[in-house]
């Protein structure tokens, strides 16, 4: 009998060549597969909900794997698995038995990303590699006005990486909002799926608005242009978190 398990993973992306296994470079998926294979004493392949780029973090990445043995004690299994992961900033925080047709990527209804900007004079110590450190004071009100232009269904060609392999640039942003707490700005997006570097590109544009280089309505013009050259440089990966995958 074959069993299908879903796992929820958190990781700090610094030092990894992204989520997906590659010929060269240390990846989150590669390290996880080795650890699960050790824990189950069997060769295991895992399917992630989606790729995160080099340096991007996750507090709620989802993946699934098939195995021919039932995990009777999930506490014991998670303890063993996290022991094998102790050298790395990767933790498996939950495991759940799923139906045979559950697929971490294809079954996902929505993905939630959060980007964190630290806007102050002093560099981050505790939050190093977990925020985008911006010294220049950002106009939060203007940024909040600008983010509204991302909501809805648009052609996001201007915000996708040249290496993006998605068949269509059309995406629906079902939720786009931001809040400020002390020196931190939290920017949240939800969609069924995102283009490569889309979130970081949108955040880069919001920063330009915050710096008063652009008016909020410039976002609308960039979307309509469909041209990558009109987009601001993408925000760095360390401020980005895959927060949750909804099924």
Residue finishing a domain among 49, 76, 98 = 98
Residue 57 contacts residue 44 (beta carbons within 8 Å): no
- In sequence order, what DSSP letters do the residues of 117-138 get, joined into one string? EEESSSPPSTTTTTSEEE-SPP
- pLDDT at residue 228, as a whole number: 97
Asked if the structure places residue 71 within a domain, the reply is yes
Residue finishing a domain among 98, 132, 151 = 98
Asked if the structure places residue 103 within a domain, the reply is no
- pLDDT at residue 134, as a whole number: 98
Please give the backbone phi and psi of residue 40, each rounded to the nearest 5 degrees, phi first: -100, -5
Asked if the structure places residue 45 within a domain, the reply is yes
Average pLDDT over residues 79-89: 97
CATH at 55: 3.30.70.580
Pair 124, 219 in one domain: yes
Pair 135, 75 in one domain: no
- pLDDT tens sequence across 110-169: 999 999 999 999 999 999 999 999 999 999 999 999 999 999 999 999 999 999 999 999
Pair 15, 90 in one domain: yes
Pair 239, 126 in one domain: yes
- pLDDT tens sequence across 169-228: 999 999 999 999 999 999 999 999 999 999 999 999 999 999 999 999 999 999 999 999
Domain that holds residue 121: 110-246
With cut-offs at 50, 70 and 90, classify the pLDDT of residue 24.
Answer: confident
Asked if the structure places residue 127 within a domain, the reply is yes
Say whether pLDDT at 23 is over 90. no
Cβ-Cβ contacts under 8 Å for 196 (sequence gap 6 or more): 51, 53, 160, 161, 163, 164, 165, 166
- pLDDT at residue 221, as a whole number: 97
Say whether pLDDT at 81 is over 90. yes
Would the pTM of this model clear 0.75, i.e. be above it?
A: yes
> What's the structural domain count of the chain?
2
- pLDDT tens sequence across 91-119: 999 999 999 999 999 999 999 999 999 99
Pairs from 224-228 (Cβ < 8 Å, separation ≥ 24): 225/158, 226/155, 226/157, 226/158, 226/169, 227/157, 227/158, 228/157, 228/158, 228/159, 228/160, 228/162
Could you give the residue numbers annotated as active site?
53
Pair 83, 167 in one domain: no
Pair 241, 131 in one domain: yes
């Amino acid at each position: 009998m074959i069993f299908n398990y879903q796992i929820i993973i958190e990781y700090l992306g610094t030092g990894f060549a992204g989520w997906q296994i590659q010929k060269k470079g240390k990846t989150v998926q590669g390290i996880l597969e080795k650890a699960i294979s050790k824990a189950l004493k069997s060769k295991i392949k895992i399917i992630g909900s989606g790729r995160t780029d080099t340096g991007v973090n996750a507090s709620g990445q989802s993946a699934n794997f098939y195995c021919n043995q039932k995990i009777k004690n999930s506490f014991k299994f998670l303890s063993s698995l996290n022991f094998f992961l102790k050298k790395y900033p990767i933790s498996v925080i939950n495991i759940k038995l799923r139906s045979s047709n559950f697929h971490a990527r294809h079954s996902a209804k929505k993905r939630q990303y959060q980007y964190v900007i630290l806007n102050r004079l002093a560099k981050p110590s505790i939050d190093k590699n977990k925020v985008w450190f911006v010294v220049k004071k950002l106009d939060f009100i203007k940024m909040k006005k600008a983010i509204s232009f991302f909501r809805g269904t648009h052609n996001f060609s201007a915000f996708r990486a040249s290496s993006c392999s998605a068949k269509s640039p059309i995406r629906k942003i079902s939720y786009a909002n931001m809040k400020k707490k002390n020196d931190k700005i939290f920017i949240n997006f939800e969609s069924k799926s995102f283009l490569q570097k889309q979130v970081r590109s949108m955040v880069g544009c919001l920063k330009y608005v915050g710096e008063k280089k652009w008016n909020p309505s410039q976002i609308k013009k960039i979307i309509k242009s469909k041209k990558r050259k009109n987009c601001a440089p993408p925000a760095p990966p360390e401020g980005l978190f895959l927060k949750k995958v909804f099924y």
